[in-house]
Structure 1
Amino acid sequence: MSGSLWMPPGARPDTLPVIPRRRTAPGWAQPDPIDELAERLDDFIAASVHPDEIAALLESDGLSDDQIRERYGVKDSFALAEELYERVERRCPEPDGPVPDPWQVGLLGCLLRGVVFALPGFGYVLGAPLLVGPKDDSGLPAGTLPLLAGALVGWTWNQGLAHRAYSWLGLGDRSAARRSLLLGAPAGALLGALAAFAVAGTGHPVAVAFAAGQSVYLGAATSLLVMGRERALLAALSPMAAGAVLGFVHHVPDTARLILLLGSLTVVALLGLREVAPPKGRGAVSDMWLPPRGRDQPGRTRTRPTARGPRLSASLPYALFGLATGVLVLHAALGDVLTGEQQRTAAPAAVALTLSMGPAEWLLYRFRSGSLAGLRSSSTPKAFWRTTAVTVVECLSAYLLSLLVLSLATSALWPHAQGIAGIRLAGLLLLGALLWTGLLLQSFGAVLGAATVCCVAALAQTAGLVTHTGSPHEVGLIVYGAAAMIQAALVCALLGRVTAHR
């Protein structure tokens, strides 16, 4: 039997012999090599969004398919990558150092923009003695209607123009942004002047000229603000503002008033033209007027555009939003004039509302920064909604508090002004809430909803004024409150959508 092969009991002679397996002592099980590899590459695998990223890393380490089959028992790098991807839970490791936040901006810059928004109001104070004459049929001072017509056209046009220029800047095409401003700003100035002339006719030449200058300023200032030249605009407006302030305590001759107004307007217009004009140098003019889709030149190949330009229709909701908010602000500013209070309360309210746009802009950035932090810290949609809801309440409350302080301060400092209180103050705060939530909806990409709500509110308040349905302040209180509540509901509906916070 020494030459016979031992077989287990019951086995047939034609069965293969049993190959003894290597035995390991209890408690000494061999570790899984794939688990070891997963542990070593844990951070990279957890942050990967697809197994192909892991396969690329394995191949970059020099692992061949033969080595992978021998060490890990799978056929190739892609199979091993899929196995690693399944074994490691997805997570996004926090980067080393401070977390990048693109929404961090300085408060001083935003406050500077608010001051720049408010300074043109001193131009109306400085030029008021030049607009002499009896009141019109609506009870407004002489020349008011041409100025209002030109301002509304300018606000509408330049709001849409600014959106189009910002869209080009967002695409990285600064030349196209300059080109749109170079063409759009003069066109808006011409439309504003024509609107003022259509309202005034030939009976108020001084008012039409003032409105034409106003339209030129709006176009040039839009160009400077879009291109980030707030400080230059502030310097150009400072002499005019100083002359208006001096006029509160000393008599300023009409000649000096005219020189200050025309001087500031000329400087602003030249600065705006310089900012959007084609750069100097050989070929600069042709490059400036190069169509966004490229062109054919001898010796050059025609290149395809890297991105489509913004559609003209995309700027229409922003223009309508500018028109609607302009009408609402004018109603708030002229309510006292229409009720016989003249400018004792209207001017401080308008100045406070304009100055508050600086804090409003900064608080919008703060909200976007807070929503980004909430997105990192929240693990469920409900938790993210709660976090952003708290942030938006804090930012809106801070804005209304700043508007309250500014309104009280301007009414206290404005010569011969009455204090803002009661229904006037409540209406002003509700209007501020309406404007801030509208700007927030714009940042969400829901500008159409904000424009619709504000347009309906402007139409409702205008209809109430025409039909004499209550006092302007009472109508405004109802309209502002209802519109602000609707926009707040739209904001709440969008807070939990992560895509709205892009």
Structure 2
Amino acid sequence: MIIDELVDRVAGLLPDPVDELQVAALLESQGITDQVAVDRYGRTDVFALGQEVFERLPRGSVAVQDDAPTGTWLHAVRGPLYLLPTTAFPAVAAVLGGPAAVRAMVVATVVSWVWGSGASAVAHRLLGGGAAATATRSLRWLGAAGTAVATTTATVALGWRSALFVLALSGLQFAIGVLLFHRREKLLAVAVLPAGAGGVIHLVSGATAAVLVLGGTTVLLAVVGAWRAGRGTRDAGGVRLPRARTLLGAAVPSSGYAALCATLLLHTDSRYALSALDLAVAAAPLVLGMGVVEWRANRFFEVASEELRRCALPHDFAPAVRRRLVRELGLCLLALGSAALVLLVALRWAGELTSSGALLIDGHVLLGGAFFLGFVLVRTSGAATAQLIVAAALLGNVAAVALGADPVPVFLLTCAALSIFLLMALRGSAGQVRHYR
């Protein structure tokens, strides 16, 4: 039925509406007027249509609300948990050879980032509709399928030795996604310790066999933990699962945006993975600070909702939210910049810092701020606007490097321009009330 299609669309945009008036407001924002309600849906007006859609929407349970994204301090520790397993990469490079290891890392990272973003969008869509158990199973099996895709790609393109590394790395990255979806940061911290210890061993002694064993232990612990996470969850009673095309509609934009972000990052970083030390570790502040970026993005929406209740007049709301957006961006840049400053001082003390390395580190700080703005833009305007902006930045970056420009300053300027254009796009969407109800 045509009403069912509308219910699926509203459920994807507004998983937990307060009342039928909020649904009616969303329908009006989507271009559904009283005349459309009469002509297309056979209802007297948009409010009658909103009431019927509201009554048909799946209802979430208390457990679902507990799993909803919130801005907690635990997000801040995710960055170190992302980074710790990467300390074993030099040992892998020693076994596979540097160029082969970099190619394998790129394949695993791109597939995991892109596929994982789509899988996460599907899981959150199911979770928001009250299907907690289905969300858990979907994320688990989609992660397994993504690992198979990455491994098959590596086997065909790179050979079986590199494919083994891709299998381990992509499996670990998908497992990390599942554990963080279920907020199992403590379990993840235990799982990544062996790989971190292996990285220290390789740095001190140059040993590789022990490092590979410890890295494999991390993969095993993370995968087992991810497979067991979420057991005991149940779908809410009477929940209606969304159609496959609705889930696909949630996954594709997220995956597309992730693909553009991954390409922008790796287009520069992959060429320096085995270069001078300051260039090779330039992304470390970004990785360390990504948890803070996620935390402050979620916190922004919580604070915006509080501002919505506080502001007496609508025209007071937009300026207040824009001020908060700038403040949260500043906090993200402060966290990323602090991590970058520590790295810069350490490299300078070790005599390993060059001007190119400093510029590349600064570029990653700006990119972290752009990622924060992108998170907010996707949730307020949808992925299409964010995709267009990132695609334009990526094309400019690729073109400049192809014409012979130095990739490092080009990357810095690209990230600065990206942040500016994302801010310009948010000036219109961030202050709209409907995003925070």
Q: Does 1:264 align with 2:218?
A: yes
Report the Cα distance in structure 2 between the residues aligned to 1:229 and 1:145, rounded to whole angstroms.
30
1:494 maps to which residue? 429
Partner Cα separation in structure 1 for residue 256 and residue 79 of structure 2? 22
Deviation at 1:335, TM superposition (A): 5.3
For 2:380 and 2:91, the matched residues in 1 are separated by 39
Inter-CA distance 461–173: structure 2 relative to 1 (3 Å threshold): same
Determine the C-alpha separation between the residues in 1 that align with 2:306 and 2:142: 38
CA distance in 1, matches of 2:194, 2:352: 24
Among residues 462, 466, 481, which one is paired with 2:416 in the alignment? 481
**Residues 113 and 358 of structure 1 are in contact (CA less than 8 Å); yes or no, is this contact kept in structure 2?**
yes
Structure 1 residues 497 and 369, CA, compared in 2 at 3 Å: closer, same or farther? same
Q: Aligned residue for 2:170?
A: 215
Task: Note if contact 1:412-1:419 (Cα within 8 Å) is conserved in structure 2.
Answer: no
CA deviation profile, 1:25-59 (whole Å, cap 9, x unmatched): xxxxxxxxxxxxxxxxxxxxxxxx99xxxxxxxxx
Contact 2:300–2:328 (CA under 8 A) maintained in structure 1: yes
Deviations 1:170-205 (A, max 9, x none): 1221111122123211110011112222332x4xx4
- The aligned counterpart of 2:101 is 143
* CA pair 419-235 structure 1, distance change in 2 beyond 3 A: farther
State whether structure 2 residue 183 is matched by structure 1 residue 228: yes
In structure 1, what is the Cα distance between the partners aligned to 2:103 and 2:377?
Answer: 31
1:383 to 308, 311, 316: 316
Q: Does residue 72 of structure 2 align to residue 106 of structure 1?
A: yes
Q: Does the CA contact (< 8 Å) of 1:103 and 1:366 recur in 2?
A: no
More helix by share: 2
Partner of 2:209: 255
1:244 partner amino acid = G
Q: Counterpart in 2 of 1:121?
A: 86
TM-score (norm 2): 0.76
Secondary structure of 2:100's match?
coil
Confirm or deny that 1:206 pairs with 2:161: yes
Tell me what 1:366 maps to: 299
Identify the match of residue 193 of structure 1 among 151, 159, 164: 151
8 Å contact kept, 2:272–2:280: no
Matched residue, 2:54: none
The Cα offsets for residues 406-464 of structure 1, whole Å up to 9 and x where unpaired, read as: 11213444677426776334423332222111011123252222133223323432343
Q: 1:434 is matched with which residue: 365, 370, 382?
A: 370
Question: How far has the Cα of 1:119 moved from its partner?
Answer: 1.9
Shift of 1:355: 1.0
- Paired amino acid for 1:344: L
Q: 1:114, 1:357 within 8 Å by CA — same for their partners in 2?
A: yes
Residue-by-residue CA offset, 1:348-384 (whole Å, 9 max, x unaligned): 3211101111211222233223322322332333321
* Equivalenced residues, count: 368
Match of 1:241 among 183, 196, 217: 196
Q: 1:144 to 1:381 in 2, by over 3 A?
A: same
Deviates more, 1:446-455 or 1:315-324: 446-455
The aligned runs of 1:69-468 (5 Å cut-off) are 105-107=71-73, 109-132=74-97, 141-200=99-158, 202=159, 205-248=160-203, 250-275=204-229, 305-306=239-240, 308=242, 310-334=246-270, 336=272, 342-413=275-346, 417-418=352-353, 423-444=359-380, 446-465=382-401, 467-468=402-403
Q: Provide the rounded CA distance (Å) in 2 between the counterparts of 1:258 and 1:335.
A: 24
Question: In 2, Cα distance between the equivalents of 1:386 and 1:209?
Answer: 52
Q: Which amino acid aligns with 1:355?
A: L
How far off is 1:113 after superposition? 1.6
Distance, in Å, in 2 between the alignment partners of 1:348 and 1:315 is: 31
CA distance in 1: counterparts of 2:419 and 2:70, whole angstroms: 27
Q: Secondary structure at the match of 1:496?
A: coil
Change (3 A) 1:416 1:442: farther
SS of equivalent residue, structure 2 residue 332: helix
Partner secondary structure for residue 275 of structure 2: coil
Q: CA RMSD in A?
A: 3.0
* Cα distance in 2 between the residues matched to 1:175 and 1:304: 13
- What TM-score, normalized by structure 1, do the two folds share? 0.67
Answer whether contact 1:320 1:455 (CA < 8 A) is retained.
no
Structure 1 residues 235 and 378, CA gap change in structure 2 (3 angstroms): same
CA 1:474–1:442 in 2, change beyond 3 Å: closer, same or farther? same
Tell me the CA shift for residue 218 of structure 1: 1.9
Q: Percent same amino acid at aligned positions?
A: 23
What is the alpha-carbon distance in structure 2 between the residues aligned to residue 253 and residue 235 of structure 1? 23
Distance 1:240 1:307, change over 3 A: closer
Cα distance in 1, alignment partners of residues 123 and 69 from structure 2: 20
Amino acid at match of 1:215: S
- In 1: Cα distance, 2:69 partner to 2:114 partner: 27
